[in-house]
Amino acid sequence: MLHYCIQIIVFQSLFLLVYDIVLKKETFFNYNRAYLLVTVLISLVIPFVKIDHFKRIIPEAYVVSLPEVIIGSSPHKFLGVQHLDPVFISNITVFTWENLLFFGWVISALILSFKVFQIIKLLRGNQGEKQGRITLIYLKNSTSAFSFFNFIFLGDAISTSKRSAILAHEKVHVSQKHSLDLLVFELLRILFWFNPLIYIYQKRIAEVHEFIADSKAVKQHSKKVYYENLLSQVFDTQSISFINPFFKQSLIKKRIIMLSKSKSNRVNVLKYTLVLPLVVFMLVYTSCTAQEDNTNQNLSIVQQIEALKSSISTQGTITPLEEKALVELVEMLEESKVNTLKIEREHLLSNNQDSFSFLDIDEVPTFAECEDLGSNTEKRKCFSKMVNTFVANHFNPKVADELKLVGNQKISVFFTIAKNGEIKDIKTRGPHILLEEEAKRVVSLLPKINAGKQDGKPVNVTFFLPIHFMVK
C-alpha cells in the first residue's frame, strides 16, 4: 500500500510538472481539461500495469545455493533442540497507520457530506425557476453566483445588467458538466486525503473550467463589458470546492489575462505528446519493480525452505508447526510458480559428497582461477569450493567464544554478485548481530569475481551460503 501511494505521488508530480511548465499557458483549454482528468486517473492505474516486454529488458536475478561452510566439529553432531509451547502476546497498540488512514477517510467523507448538505439546504430554502434542462435558484439577499450540475444559483442582489453575462458563463459550466469533474476530485480527496497533489489537481482543473466558460461566454458579449463585470465586484461565493463560482477573487486576474491572450498556435498541440514518453517511462518502472518484488518474494520462500531444511538436519524431524509451515510453503510455491525462477541448488549430502543440479544460467560467476576450466559444471564446483575455503579460513570463530555461545551455531547469508562483478546486498541471519556482522565482513572480502551471464549479457546472481560451526 505504501509503495503504491508513493508511486501515485511521484507519477502525479511528473504529470503536474509537465502541465505547469509546458501546457498551463496554452489556450487549448479543453485539451488541458482532458490532460488533467486523464493523467490523474492514469497515475492511479499505472502501478498495477505490468508489461512482460519491459520485464525482459532487465535481466532477471538468479539464486544459487552454495554448500555449507563447516567451521569446527562436524555439523551433524548437534545438540537436541527443545521446543517450548508458543507464547501469545496480545497487541495492545492503539495507534496504527491503518487506523489513521481510516480516520482520514471518515473525516473526508463527513466534509463532503457537509458540502452536499449545504447545497441541499440552498435548494430547499430558495425559489427556483425551470429553464429547459437548467434550474435557476435565486438566493435571497445574496450576490453569489455559481453552478452545480444542472442548477445555477444566482443572488437576487445581482443587478439585471450583469445577469446576462453571468448566466452565459454558468450555462457553459452546466453544458460541459464541469461539476462532474470536480465531484471526481472530491471522491479522490476522500480516498487519497493524505496526497496534497490531488488538491493541486483540483485547483488546476477549476481554473481551466473558468477559462473555458469565459472563452465561450465572452463571444456573446463585448470583452469590455465582460471585463467590467469581472472587475466591478467580488461576489460572496459559497465556500464549496465542487461548485463553479462566477467570481472568485484569486482567479479574476488569471481569467482576465487568459481572455486577453492570443490563441495558441496550432503547432503547440504537439506539446501534449510529451506525455507519451512519460507514460512509457512509468510503465517500464512499474514492470521492472514488479519483477523485483516477485524475485524478493521467491527469495523469501527460498530462505524459509533453507530454514526448514536446517531444522530437519539438526533435529532429524520437524514439529507440527513446522509441518504446517512446510505445507504452506508448498502452496506458495505452486501459486507463485517460484520454480520458474532459475534457482541453482548445490546440496551437501554428506561430509565428502556434493550433489549439483545445474539449470539455465549460461555462465556462472567465477573467480579468475576457475576461468580456464572446461565445462560449466567444473567452474561451478571450483567457485563453490573457493568460496567455502575462503570463508572457512577468514571467519573468526572467537566472536562466538566472546559471546559465550555454546553448541551448534548457524548463520544464513544471502549476497548478490552484481552485473559488474561486485558483491552487494549482503543479508545475514544468525543467533547474534556480531556473528551476522562477521559473516558480512568475510563475504565482502571475497576476491574479485567475474559476473554471471545469460544470453551473453551480465546478470545479477544471488547466493545463499549457510555457515555452520560448533562452539565447545
Q: What confidence tens digit (pLDDT) does each residue in 63-100 have? A: 555 666 666 544 433 333 333 334 433 344 455 778 89
Average pLDDT, whole number, for the chain? 77
Does some domain include residue 91? Answer: no
Three cell numbers, residue 147: 453552478
Three cell numbers, residue 351: 561430509
Average pLDDT over residues 107-115: 95
Of the residues 204, 239, 264, which one is the last residue of a structural domain?
A: 264
Give the integer Cα–Cα distance in Å for 185 and 248. 19
Residues 451 and 395 in one domain: yes
Q: How confident is the model at residue 242 (pLDDT cuts 50, 70, 90)?
A: low
pLDDT tens, residue by residue, 263-281: 899 999 999 999 999 999 9
Residues 59 and 120 in one domain: no
Three cell numbers, residue 12: 502525479
- Structural domain boundaries enclosing 255: 97-264
Residues 246 and 136 in one domain: yes
Give the integer Cα–Cα distance in Å for 240 and 255. 20
Domain count across the chain: 2
What's the CA angle centered on 307, arms 302 and 311, to 5 degrees? 145
Three cell numbers, residue 397: 570463530
Amino acid identity at 262: S
**Of 352, 383, 372, 399, nearest to 449 (Cα)?**
383
Beta carbons of 435 and 468 less than 8 angstroms apart:
no
pLDDT tens, residue by residue, 46-73: 998 877 665 555 555 555 556 666 665 4
Of the residues 241, 264, 287, which one is the last residue of a structural domain?
A: 264
Give the integer Cα–Cα distance in Å for 121 and 144. 15
Query: Most confidently modeled of 18-32, 162-176, 283-297, 300-314?
Result: 18-32
**Of 154, 151, 208, nearest to 174 (Cα)?**
151
- Sequential DSSP letters for 65-124: EPPPEEESS-TTSPPP---PPPPP--------HHHHHHHHHHHHHHHHHHHHHHHHHHHH
Residue-level pLDDT at 375: 80
Residues 163 and 294 in one domain: no
CA dihedral 229, 231, 233, 237 (to 10 degrees): 90
**Of 388, 299, 382, nearest to 348 (Cα)?**
388
Report the Cα–Cα distance between both ends of the chain, in Å, rounded: 47
Q: How many CB atoms lie within 10 A of CB 341?
A: 19
Residues 200 and 294 in one domain: no
Residues 115 and 246 in one domain: yes
Residues 415 and 439 in one domain: yes
Residues 112 and 64 in one domain: no
Give the integer Cα–Cα distance in Å for 85 and 139. 73
Average pLDDT over residues 141-160: 89
Report whether pLDDT(393) > 50: yes
Three cell numbers, residue 360: 539455465
Beta carbons of 379 and 431 less than 8 angstroms apart:
no
Three cell numbers, residue 135: 434550474
* 375, containing H or E segment: none
**Of 7, 36, 78, 98, nearest to 288 (Cα)?**
7
Residues 203 and 126 in one domain: yes
Beta carbons of 258 and 214 less than 8 angstroms apart:
yes
Give the integer Cα–Cα distance in Å for 371 and 359. 19
Residue-level pLDDT at 34: 97
